[in-house]
Structure 1
C-alpha cells in the first residue's frame, strides 16, 4: 500500500532543496519571459484611475522608504509598494495565467518578491529562484483542486507562493519556513464575490495578499509561529477554501516539472476565459473576411468555468471591471476594432452604442466539458445577416504553452504596455528594459532593475 501524501511536507522539501544552479535553462528562460511580461502589464496598470486612490490609502500605512512604486517611483514601506505594484499588474486583467491551476501566478508573486528584494538588496539570480519556486507552490496547490472557484485562487494561492518565494530568496528553511507559510495561510484572502459584481476590488485582492506575504515572512523571521498543517488539516486550505481535491498533480510534478514553463500569456487585456472567443473570431475573420456589420448572431460554446467567469450579458452603464469579464463586450470590441487593447475599456468605448448592440448578439453556452477548472476547448459560431454560418473549435487558445506567443508578439505586447503607462515610456527606455531582462541573471542587486521601471519623464 502506498504511503499517504503529505502535501505541505513535499512543498517544504522542494523549497529547501532547490538551488538556482539546479534550474534548467528552459526554466530560467521562461522565468525571464514572464517577468518581462508581468513588469510590462504592471507598468501599464499605472494608468488605471484607482491607483491614485490606493496610493492615498497606503500613505496611512507607514513612511519607511524600502521599495518603489513602478513607473512613478515613490518610495514606500515594502508591503505598501507591493500592494500597489500587485494591483497594477492585475487591474487590467492582462497578466499571465496558469490555466490548469486557474491561478494568475505572477501578480502577487512578482510584486512582493521585487519589493522584498529591494529591501534586502538581493540579486536577480535570487529573484529567478524565488519566482520559480513561488510559481510552483501557487500552481501545484491550484492544480490539485477538482472543484470550482469559490475563493479567488490567484490571490490566496499567490500569497502562499509568494511567501515561499521570499523564503527561498533569503535561504529561510526549517521551522522558520514552515512558520512563514502558516502565518501567510492565517491571513490569505480573496473571494469570487468581487468577480461576480465586477468590482475593482477583485484586483486589489492581489495587492492585499502581496502585502500579506511580506508581513508573513517578516513575522516568521522575528520568531513568531504559525499553524503547520495548512493544506490537509481539518481547517487547512483544501478543506476550508475548496470543495474537493486530488493530490496527484503535486505528487507527480513537484521537483520534476517547473510550472513557470506551463504559464500562458494573455494577448488581450481581458479575463483569460474570454480569450477563446477573441481568438476564434479573429481566426474566422481572417479566413472568411466578414465584417462586424454583417454579423447577426454569435454563439460561444465553452466549459463551465468560462460560462461562470465571462458568460454575463452586456448591460448599460457597465464599468471596465465588468466589461473585461463580459464575453459580449469582449467579442464586439474585437470584431469592431480588429483587436482588443487597454484603451478599449475607456469611458467612451463603454458607452459606444455599436459595441452594446453587437455585444447583445453574443450568447455563451455550456459545451460537453464537465471539468470545473477547464478553460478549453471553445467553439465559436457566427451567423451572418445573409444566412451564411461559420464555426471554429479551438483546443489551444492563443498564448497557451501549446499555442504560444512568439518572441515578436511578446515584445509587441510589452512595448504597447509600456507606452500605455500613466507616464509613457520612451522607446530607448523600453529597449533598455528589455535588454535588462534578457541579461537578468547578471544583475547583482534588484534595485538596479527597479531603476529601469521608473519613467524618466
Structure 2
C-alpha cells in the first residue's frame, strides 16, 4: 500500500537523527527551552488547578511528570496538563512555515513538546530520541497545516486538529511503532480531532483545550494501535480522511514535498504574551512610547484591515467583565499595555493592573479604524496594522511593523532575548535561578542526556509563585 498515510508512516520510521541538519536541531532546542519557560509561567493560570485535579485524578501508572506541580500520572494526562499550562498565556512558539517561509496560523510546539516529554519519560528515551521524535512531529504538524490550507476564517482551531497528527508521529517514534500501527494511530486520532475559535471570541478558558487534547488523544491513539485497535486504511488521504474533512483548499502534494529532507516547525518564538496578530502593533507601540509623554496623548488610532476588525482581536474588552483570556487576545488593550510598560507579559494581566485608572484612561483613548484594504490570511503577506498616536499638541506619531519581532527569518529574537524570556518566565513561575540554569544546560546538551526523565525531574516541583 502506497497511499499518503503509509508514505508518512514510512517517513517517521526511516528518518534518523543523523538525517536532520544541525540548523533544525538548534531550532528544536530553542523551542524546547521556550516551551519549558512557557509551561512554568502558565502553571498557575486560571483553570489549570482544576485540570490538574481532573486529569491527575484519573489514575494510571505514574509514568510522566506534571511539571512544576510535584506530581506524576499517566503519560496522556500529564501531556494534557503540561500543554494546558503552556497554552495559558498565548506565549508559546507559533506560526507554521511553508517552503517560501510564509507564516500560517498554528501553535505546534505547545502540543508536540508535552507529548514528547511525557512519552519520553514513559519509555526512558534519551535526549537524542526526543530530539528526533520532536523534529518529526513538528515537521508533520506544520506540513499538515500548510497542506490543508487552514485559515482562521474557517472557525476551527487547528491546534486541536493538525497538532494531533504531529503528536501521533512524535509519540509513535518514541514508542517504536511499526508502519501499520502508525497508520492505525493516525486513523484513531482522526476520530478525536476538534477545536473552535469561538473559545477565543468569548474569552473562555476552553481555548487551551484543543492544544492539550491533541497531545492526550495522540498518546491514547498510539496506545490503542499498539494494542491492535485498527483504524482506516488511509486516514490522511482517504475518501473521508483528514484532507477531505479538514482540507477545504488543500494541496496534498505539499505534505510530501521534500519529506525527510527539509524539516519545518513553528517559525516564531514570541517576545510577548499575546496573539501573534497583535504583535506587530505592539512592537510599533513600544517604539512610539520612547518618543512621547503618555500624559500628552489625545487619541490612539489602530488602523487595521477588515479581516482583523471582524476577528477575535477586535472584540471589545470591558473592564471588570472581560477575562484574562480576552486580554491577551485584545488588540487595543495589548497596544495600551505596550505603550505603558514597553512589553506585554503575564505580570500585567491582573485585575490590579488592567483595572488601574491609568490603563483604563489610556484604553478609553483607543479607536479602531478600518484600513479598507488588505488582510491577514494563511500564506499571504499581511497588511501591517498601523498605530497612530495623536498628541494634545497635534503631533501624530505613526508606526507599523511589517514582520513583528520573533520571526526567525525576518526579525528574530537574539540569543540574549531568548534567554531573557526563558529566565523571566521561570522566575515568574516560581523557579529559582539555579534550577532554571540546570534545565537550560540540559537542553543545550540534549543529545548527551541519557534519559529525559532527568530533565523532567529537575522541573518537577512543586514550586512557589
Q: TM > 0.5 between the two?
A: yes
Match of 1:425 among 406, 420, 431: 431
Following superposition of structure 1 onto structure 2, how do residues 50-449 of structure 1 map, counting pairs within 5 Å? 50-99=47-96, 100-146=103-149, 148-149=151-152, 150-260=155-265, 263-286=267-290, 288-291=291-294, 293-302=296-305, 304=307, 308-316=311-319, 317-360=321-364, 361-363=366-368, 365=370, 368-370=373-375, 372-373=377-378, 374=380, 376-382=382-388, 383-401=390-408, 402-421=410-429, 424-449=430-455
Contact 2:376–2:382 at 8 Å: present in 1 too? no
Deviation at 1:341, TM superposition (A): 1.2
State the alpha-carbon separation in 2 of the partners of residues 247 and 454 from structure 1: 41
* Residues 272 and 371 of structure 1, relative CA distance in 2, 3 Å threshold: closer
Gaps of 5+ in 1: none
Deviation at 1:162, TM superposition (A): 0.7
* Residues 329 and 70 of structure 1, relative CA distance in 2, 3 Å threshold: same
CA deviation map 1:214-235 (0-9, x unaligned): 1001001111111233233343
State the alpha-carbon separation in 1 of the partners of residues 133 and 159 from structure 2: 17
* Residues 204 and 78 of structure 1, relative CA distance in 2, 3 Å threshold: same
State the alpha-carbon separation in 2 of the partners of residues 270 and 107 from structure 1: 15
* Residues 187 and 85 of structure 1, relative CA distance in 2, 3 Å threshold: same
Deviation at 1:242, TM superposition (A): 4.3
- Equivalent pairs counted in the alignment come to 449
Aligned to 2:100: none
State the alpha-carbon separation in 1 of the partners of residues 253 and 392 from structure 2: 49
Contact 2:199–2:205 at 8 Å: present in 1 too? yes
* Residues 45 and 292 of structure 1, relative CA distance in 2, 3 Å threshold: farther
State the alpha-carbon separation in 2 of the partners of residues 249 and 284 from structure 1: 41
Deviation at 1:64, TM superposition (A): 2.2
State the alpha-carbon separation in 1 of the partners of residues 307 and 233 from structure 2: 34
3-state secondary structure, aligned to 2:161? helix
State the alpha-carbon separation in 2 of the partners of residues 123 and 303 from structure 1: 48
**RMSD value, Cα:** 2.2
Contact 1:64–1:76 at 8 Å: present in 2 too? yes
Deviation at 1:196, TM superposition (A): 1.7
State the alpha-carbon separation in 1 of the partners of residues 309 and 113 from structure 2: 26
Aligned to 1:454: 460
Contact 2:308–2:375 at 8 Å: present in 1 too? no
Contact 2:119–2:175 at 8 Å: present in 1 too? no
TM-score (norm 1): 0.92
State the alpha-carbon separation in 2 of the partners of residues 448 and 431 from structure 1: 14
Deviation at 1:306, TM superposition (A): 7.7
CA deviation map 1:106-152 (0-9, x unaligned): 11111111111111111111110111010111111111233533221
Query: Which moved further from structure 2: 366-375 or 198-207?
Result: 366-375
Query: Which moved further from structure 2: 193-202 or 32-41?
Result: 193-202
Deviation at 1:255, TM superposition (A): 2.7
